[in-house]
Amino acid sequence: MSVAEASVAPSWRRRGDCRQVESLTARPARPDYDFLLGEYLDEAELLHARSRAKLCGVAVHRILIGEGRIDPVDYVTALAADLGLSYVGTPRKIGFSAGRRRDQSRQCWATHVIDRKSWVVFDGTAASPKTIAALAVRLTARGHVVGLAPPQGIRDCVLDSAQSAILRHAVSGLGRADPNASARGGSWLWQSIALASSFGALLGLIVIAGLSAERLLTALVTLPFLAVVLVRIAVLYSYVLVPRAPMPRSAARQDDRDLPVYTLLVPLFREARGLPGLIAALRQLDYPLVKLDIKLILESVDKETVEAVQALRLLPPFDVIIVPDRQPRTKPKALNYALHFARGDYVSVYDAEDQPEPDQLRQALRVLQLGPKNIGCVQAKLVIDNLRAGWLCRQFAIEYLSQFEAGLPALAWLGFPMPLGGTSNHFPIRVLREVGGWDAWNMTEDADIGMRLARFGYRCEVIASSTYEEAPYQLKAWIKQRTRWLKGWMQTYLVHSRRPRRQLKQLGAWAWVGVHAQLGGGLLSSLIYPFCLCFIAWRAASGQTLLPAGNLIERTLVSLALFNLLAGYGLAFAQAAACCIGQRRWGLLLQLPLMPVYWLLISFAAYRALIQLGRQPFYWEKTEHGLTRRRRLRG
């Protein structure tokens, strides 16, 4: 077989085919990308690509591949032929090593041995032709046989040798690095003993000491609820009275040439129906395509979505990652797996139903680059846009409006750790790797990583850009989703309460109080809310006043409990109303009277989550999307 035949022969594209090819002396590349003229491009197309490459600050072939003008396999084949090197479809690994360049974070070369000859196989797209030619000349002079492979071939080589290691790290990397940080271990012994002892003491005081269950319950919930009320007061004060900083939208637009590569992680499971809308939304992002690295993360068992993605024949910047099946089958495990292949300096997470505003990446990047150095994450606002689907969707919209317009910005203002939203959060990749990535065993990996960022000394900020989402409109689907969220909050609270003294030292007293007020107080309020309503209804039905005729301490406790209940109601209504008015969502104001009913459903989901935490702690209840009509995507 001749050298030319070896460089393009189909047998090289078959996995594991390692035929011997004669050692070659690499030739210097012709000027620029002239080797593509004729068969693949005409002069006008190459001139356009050179112009675009100069504007974006990238190599010419990045423009050609990113804009779909040439297939990566065709490009690498042509480059190998021009340099006098061999084309290797998928290198068969015997020995493997990975290199990183200044503008690349992925594996870009591999080494393997064929018939006792040392081979070096490069990703032909990892650098410019001149750079690859210079490297090939040096390596050939040292006795190596040099070949070029397309990016997918290098990835296949990596997966052949390291897939099990990558998967293990995705599943248990955080737990191996810090056993205290993963939800996999469940509650610690002392936490279980403390919970059982508290329950036993409660029964003992009621049965043995004859203490009124009503009085005891009042005493137990008064102080924790007071902390929740104080946080809500601070949130409302922050939203209504604290001046807001100017929105970053007015800032000067950053030149495309100065923008870094941005990786978008998009986990998909049973989402074939929503794929067209998702792809359209991501294509409308105001960011150079050649500097986007969009990972569509699929589960190997989800044949329907895999086939739907393959049928779309997506070109760069879309890149499909298929996660091997292994428990737990969760979103954070898939994110960890795909993070290994991320090329960007910054990473964002989007869900299948998301429609981010086009300028979101630029806004987030500006804050991450120009803000304080301890900003570890930027959270965009989440907005529900299928309001016509039913009252549940409208209540969901009120909840999100209160959380992202007032709640999260107030937590940042107070200096409290921020439980992130599950999507549209933006990280520097170095920070994400420093804190250990996501916990594959936590059902709300977003809230957990927000707490962990704070323990590493990082803070989170909220930006003005919005991502439009679809809320579940069926009660059954809503209950499943909320159960998963509340179960994850319980897991997060248990994880970040395992070593209280260590947590206090890492966070400081103020942020430590904030964690317990948010997580502990929020969970407790969800669990105790139905009993508060039953207590009020029972006192009213029996003709008794709400204030008992007991001693001063008892009357004080009950008075404080009633204040907490009324203030909690009032502040929640006031916050929701202020956000609706502030964002001119007039139609949602009419939905505020139904909020107490919505809270009862949250309480039901909280008890379901508590039961599931004991029986199926790592079971991920999937929420199906794409079932309702939504607003048109903004251009």
Q: Is the pLDDT of residue 200 over 70?
A: no
The lowest-confidence range among 9-23, 327-341, 378-392, 564-578 is 9-23
- Specify whether 39 is located in the same domain as 85: yes
Reported residue count of the chain is 635
Residues with Cβ within 8 Å of 313's Cβ and at least 6 positions away in sequence, in order, are none
b/e burial code for range 101-115 (CB count within 10 A of at least 16 → b): eebebbbbbbbbebe
Whether residue 13 has pLDDT greater than 50: no
If asked whether residues 86 and 203 sit together in one domain, one would say: no
Is 631 within a domain?
Answer: yes
> What CATH number is associated with residue 364?
3.90.550.10
In a domain, 166, yes or no: no
pLDDT band at 543 (very low <50, low <70, confident <90, very high): low
Q: Tell me the Cα Rg of the chain.
A: 29
| Contact indicator for 382, 469 with CB cutoff of 8 Å | yes
Residue with tokens 């056993």: 179
Let me know whether 157 and 182 are in one domain. Answer: no
% of the chain residues with pLDDT over 90: 54
Beta pairing partners, 348: 264, 426
Q: Is the peptide bond before 328 cis (omega within 30 degrees of 0)?
A: yes
375-384/459-469 β-pairing: parallel
- Total domains in the fold of the chain: 2
- By mean pLDDT, which of 135-149, 315-329, 332-346 is the weakest? 135-149
Measure the CA–CA gap between 121 and 136, rounded to whole angstroms. Answer: 10
Determine the pLDDT at residue 203.
61
Q: What percent of the chain has pLDDT over 70?
A: 81
Say whether both 443 and 368 belong to one domain. yes
- Average pLDDT value for the chain: 83
Each residue's pLDDT tens digit, 481-500: 999 999 999 999 999 999 99
CB contact set of 178 (below 8 Å; sequence gap of 6+): 436
- How far is residue 164 from each of residues 90, 94, 107, 168, 503, measured CA to CA in Å? 18, 16, 17, 6, 33
Q: How far apart are CA 178 and CA 581, in angstroms?
A: 45
562 and 433 both lie in a single domain: yes
Asked if 86 and 208 sit in the same domain, the reply is no
Tens digits of residue pLDDT in 97-135:
444 433 333 444 555 555 456 778 888 898 889 888 888
pLDDT at 113: 53
Instruction: Specify burial of residue 315 (Cβ count, 10 A radius: 0-12, 13-18, 19+).
Output: middle
Within a domain: 173? no
Q: What are phi and psi of 427, to 5 degrees?
A: -125, 145
Q: Same domain, yes or no, for 52 and 190?
A: no
212 with 68, same domain?
no
How is residue 7 written in tokens? 């460089």
Cβ-based neighbours of 46, under 8 Å, separated by 6 or more:
33, 34, 36, 37, 60
Indicate the pTM of the whole model: 0.87
Instruction: Kindly state whether residue 37 falls inside one of the protein's structural domains.
Output: yes
Check whether residue 211 and residue 356 sit in a common domain: yes
Helix (H) or strand (E) holding 629: none
Helix axes 445-455, 475-495, angle to 10 degrees: 20
Q: How much is the pLDDT for 6?
A: 31
Contact status, residue 149 vs residue 123, Cβ threshold 8 Å: yes
Please check whether residues 260 and 114 belong to one and the same domain. Answer: no
Both 363 and 243 in one domain: the answer is yes
Spacing of C-alpha 615 from chain mean position: 26
Tokens found for residue 212: 């009124």
For residue 172, tell me if it sits in a domain.
no
Model confidence at 468, pLDDT cuts 50, 70, 90, reads: very high
Give pLDDT, residue 528: 84
pLDDT tens string 159-187: 877 889 999 999 999 999 998 999 998 87
pLDDT value for 542: 73
Q: In one letter, which amino acid is 518?
A: Q
Q: Residue 44: give the domain boundaries.
A: 3-161
SS3 148: strand
| Predicted pLDDT of residue 192 | 74
In a domain? residue 167: no
Quick one: which H or E segment has residue 275?
A: helix 275-283
Q: Are 215 and 85 found together in one domain? A: no
Q: Is there a cis peptide before residue 317, judged by omega within 30 degrees of 0?
A: yes
Picking from 102, 134, 161, the residue at the C-terminal end of a domain is 161
pLDDT of residue 633: 47
Per-residue model confidence (pLDDT) at position 171 = 95
